[in-house]
Amino acid sequence: MVRKVLHLEGLAIFFAALYLYHLLSADWLIFLILLLTPDISMVGYIKNTRLGAVTYNIVHNYALGIIVSGIGLLVGNTFFTSLGLILLAHVGIDRFLGFGLKYPTHFKETHLQKV
């Protein structure tokens, strides 16, 4: 039951980020182009699983998206705000699909499996 709630939470974050992106009147082509770019953080897995988990988890969390969006709002930079919303949308859809934060033991071992 808890796992389903966490998946639905991810979907809600995804739709909230889409809605806020719409309110921002940001460019949807940029959104589509950048939506999967946070997955570049998996590059750490080339070296080893521990580094891969660290680089992946640094990028794939809600806090970073909120911080980037918040800074964008504070300085009045629409593009920076949109980057944070794109990150939130990415992380939200990842959580909905079951891709959670990674443990350093194995790529497929995530926090959503431990719930």
- pLDDT tens for the chain, 115 residues long, are 888 999 999 999 999 999 999 999 999 999 999 999 999 999 999 999 999 999 999 999 999 999 999 999 999 999 999 999 999 999 999 999 999 899 999 888 888 876 5
pTM, rounded to two decimals:
0.93
Task: Print the domain residue range for 19.
Answer: 2-110
Strand partners, 103: 106
Q: Identify whether the C-beta of residue 104 lies closer than 8 Å to the C-beta of residue 53.
A: yes
- Is residue 84 included in any domain, yes or no? yes
Q: What pLDDT shows up at residue 115? A: 53
Domain presence at residue 115:
no
Counting the structural domains of the chain, the total is 1
Q: By C-alpha distance, which of 103, 106, 71, 67 is closest to 87?
A: 67
Is residue 7 domain-resident? yes
